């Protein structure tokens, strides 16, 4: 495949891109140390290829660790690093909770930051802290919260933006939901046009925990976990008076995420694990 810009002798000819495969609660990512700003993030074909689970590396998203030389969206506050999150379809997304926890772990392991750090995202600056095997992330403040939306599904549906938009349907049995069908219906509902929403299906369990399944926008399928989705269901369940924070959110991949609102900030805590390191070629050899 020729270089993305069509020129011969491009810096990307035969370029080798080191990466680290990581996951946060089963939400898996291709992590790239892109502090040199050389990753071809405008080449959607390349991104779709490496994100494909059948013919590429496979992931729920590509995350770039970049420098943050400018002010973030919070006036007067600078960040230690910048996170760029790219969906498997090649489109960029403002925020990913589990992805931000993974980039915090990666940046700390690389020695690029201290245990406490500020991360610039498309949704604003978020704070993260490495706590042994766990990463705690302060999310941006929830916005646009609305209960009982007029959505033509058999369950009550709420909405909140926890960095990215999330619709939440409250169901009796999360495992019984036909997620490809119901998830697509909610994700593309006219109420959320033009960009759509992430679609979540949740239940409050007898022990006070929450169970969650998520159909993610940009992935266009179910993922094993969603950090901003876990925050959304916790915030909405608390708003309805069903739970009190902190609360554990059980994800379909078998991991739990803990949502709290200590010090007035919504926090997301869970593990962020390195799976393997590798290298992929970009340029004429593809």
What are the catalytic residues?
Answer: 96, 226
CATH, residue 83: 3.10.310.10
CA pair distance 258, 249, nearest whole angstrom: 6
In a domain, 4, yes or no: no
Q: Which tens digit of pLDDT belongs to each residue from 237-253?
A: 999 999 999 999 999 99
**Rg of the chain taking only CA atoms, in angstroms:** 19
Q: Which tens digit of pLDDT belongs to each residue from 1-20?
A: 344 444 444 444 578 999 99
pLDDT at position 270 over 50? yes
Tell me the whole-structure pTM to 2 decimals.
Answer: 0.88
- Are 187 and 82 contained in the same domain? no
Per-residue pLDDT at 7: 40
Per-residue pLDDT at 152: 85
Q: Which tens digit of pLDDT belongs to each residue from 67-86?
A: 997 554 555 678 999 999 99
- Are 21 and 125 contained in the same domain? yes
Range of the domain at 120: 15-139+272-282
- Are 217 and 191 contained in the same domain? yes
pLDDT at position 188 over 60? yes
* 3-class DSSP assignment, residue 25: coil
CA quadruple 47, 53, 58, 61: dihedral, nearest 10 = 60
- Are 115 and 178 contained in the same domain? no
Per-residue pLDDT at 184: 96
* Burial state string for 92-121 with b = 16 or more CB within 10 A and e = fewer than 16: bbbbbbbbbbbbbbbbbeeeebeeebbbbb
- Are 226 and 242 contained in the same domain? yes
Q: Is the separation of the CB atoms in 274 and 28 below 8 Å?
A: no
């Amino acid at each position: 495949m020729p270089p993305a810009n069509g020129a011969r002798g491009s810096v990307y000819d035969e370029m080798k891109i080191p990466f680290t495969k990581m996951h946060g609660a089963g939400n898996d990512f291709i992590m790239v140390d892109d502090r040199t700003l050389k990753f071809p993030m405008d080449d959607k074909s390349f991104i779709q290829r490496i994100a494909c689970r059948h013919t590429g590396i496979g992931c729920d998203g590509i995350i770039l660790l970049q420098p943050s030389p400018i002010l973030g969206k919070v006036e007067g506050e600078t960040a230690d690093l910048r996170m760029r999150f790219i969906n498997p379809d090649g489109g960029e997304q403002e925020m990913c909770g589990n992805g931000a926890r993974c980039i915090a772990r990666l940046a700390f392991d690389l020695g690029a930051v201290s245990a406490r750090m500020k991360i610039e995202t498309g949704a604003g600056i978020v704070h993260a802290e490495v706590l042994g095997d766990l990463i705690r992330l302060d999310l941006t403040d929830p916005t646009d919260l609305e209960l009982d939306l007029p959505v033509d599904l058999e369950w009550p549906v709420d909405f909140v933006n926890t960095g990215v938009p999330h619709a939440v349907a409250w169901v009796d049995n999360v495992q019984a939901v036909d997620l490809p069908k119901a998830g697509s219906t909610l994700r593309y509902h006219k109420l959320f046009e033009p960009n759509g929403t992430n679609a979540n299906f949740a239940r409050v369990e007898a022990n006070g925990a929450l169970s969650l399944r998520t159909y993610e926008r940009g992935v266009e399928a179910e993922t094993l976990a969603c950090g901003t989705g876990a925050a959304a269901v916790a915030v909405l369940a608390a708003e309805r008076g069903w739970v009190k924070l902190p609360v554990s959110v059980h994800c379909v991949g078998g991991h739990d995420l803990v949502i709290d609102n200590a010090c007035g900030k919504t926090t997301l805590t869970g593990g962020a694990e390195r799976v393997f390191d590798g290298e992929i070629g970009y340029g004429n050899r593809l």
